[in-house]
Amino acid sequence: MNGFFDMPSDLQHSYVGLIGLHLQEALLPVAIGLVLALPVAQLCVRFKWLYPPVLWATTVLYAIPSLAFFVVLIDYTGQTETTVVIPLALYSLVVLVPAIVDGVRSVSPETNAAAVAMGIGPVRRYLQVELPIAVPAIFAGLRVATVSSISLVSVGALIGNQGALGNLLADANLYHRPILAVSSVVTTAVLAILADAALVLIRMLLTPWLPKSARRARRGAGGPAGPDANGDAGDKAGGLPAGGTLGDGTTDVRPTAGSAL
Positions touching another protein (CB under 8 A) are 59-60, 63-69, 71-72, 74-75, 144, 147-148, 150-152, 154-155, 157-160, 165-166, 169-170, 172-173, 176-178, 181-182, 184-185, 188-189, 192-193, 196, 224, 232-241, 243, 245, 247, 249-253, 255, 257, 259-261
Count other Cβ atoms within 10 Å, centred on residue 69: 20
Closer to another protein by CB, 132 or 160: give it.
160
192 alpha-carbon distance from chain centroid: 11
Residue 106 or 151 with smaller CB distance to another protein: 151
Of 134 and 159, nearer to another protein (C-beta) is 159
Nearer to another protein, 11 or 150 (CB): 150
Question: Is 129 or 234 the residue whose CB approaches another protein more closely?
Answer: 234
Q: Position 37: which residue type?
A: A
Q: Min. distance of Cβ 196 from another protein in angstroms?
A: 7
- The distance of closest approach from Cβ of residue 37 to another protein in the complex, given in angstroms and rounded to an integer, is 20
Q: Which is nearer to another protein, 115 or 237 (CB)?
A: 237
CB of 126 to another protein, least distance (A): 31
Can you tell me the distance from the alpha carbon of 54 to that of 93, in angstroms, rounded to the nearest whole number?
11
Cβ pair 256, 239 in contact under 8 A: yes
212, amino acid identity:
K
Quote the least distance from Cβ 190 to another protein, whole Å.
Answer: 8
> Closest separation between CB of residue 174 and another protein, Å?
10
Closest CB 261 distance from another protein, rounded Å: 6
* Residue 254 contacts residue 228 (beta carbons within 8 Å): yes
Q: How far is CA 92 from the centre of its chain?
A: 4
Polymer length in residues for the chain: 261
